[in-house]
Copies of this chain bind each other. A is one copy, B any other.
Amino acid sequence: MAVGKLFLIPSPIAEGDPDKIFSAVWKSDISHIRHFIAEDVRSARRFLSSLKVFPAIEELAFSVLNVNTPEAQMSALIKPLKEGIDVGLLSEAGCPGVADPGAGVVALAHDAGIRVVPLIGPSSIILALMASGLNGQNFSFHGYLPVDQHDLTNAIKRLEAESKSKGTTQIFIESPHRNNRLLQTLKKTLSSSTRLCVALDLSGPDEKILSKRLDQWPELELPKKPCLFLFGC
């Protein structure tokens, strides 16, 4: 029996019309899928419904995969694939498998000989990197930096030293309510010649991308919204 394919389906990263992001051909490529794995079923249902390519949203089957899903349950998630059924893996926002719990299922699929099909879509990390003016030939994404103020300052110093010696662009995120604390710590810690970029609401109506050398950074209050931070020497 032929096995199914695991489609990795990106979703929007900001408010707006999905027809701006996803082409008609892209949508028709996934319109045959009836089984989905998602972090949050409600928002996955809302997104798929907005694409207007599925006959009846009630007929779609959803399995949940989040940070609390035990590894033992993951193999159940790929069972339909082994039975020849195509499955779509969705992230809460952006690309599944990048900064979300999807990678474990993808690895299991590979080990079971199932073909994995990554689809093109929005990635806030790549959009921010493109727009930063920083080195895109060598970059690292770190997720969250430490919360403790002392550890945070040390982490920034270490990343800046690496950027100075290798040219690495350093990319990280922060919980929105700590955006301003992180920005102040970056301004206090980084050298005046380092370029710092802050990217807010990428691809959304309030998109704002600021990229300046530290000695030219303006006074700026960041909103409590998802934000990417990047710097490079």
Contacts and interface: CB of A to CB of B under 8 A. Distances in A.
B118 A121 contact: no
Interface stretch (A57-65, A109-117, A174-182, A186-194): A109-117
Interface residues of A, number: 64
A98 interface: yes
A200 interface: no
B20 A136 contact: no
Given A17-B25, A23-B21, A130-B97, A139 B136 contact: no
B107 A130 contact: no
A130 B129 CA distance: 17
Nearest to A140: B140
Given A98-B130, A129-B97, A130-B8, A139 B137 contact: no
Contacts of A111: 212, 216
Interface string A78-108: 0000000000000000011111101111111
Interface string A117-144: 1101111011111111111111111110
A221 interface: no
A138 B141 contact: yes
Contacts of A122: 120
A139 B22 CA distance: 26
A153 interface: no
Contacts of A207: 117
Nearest to A25: B20
Q: Which 3 A-B pairs have the closest CB atoms?
A: A107-B133, A106-B133, A98-B136
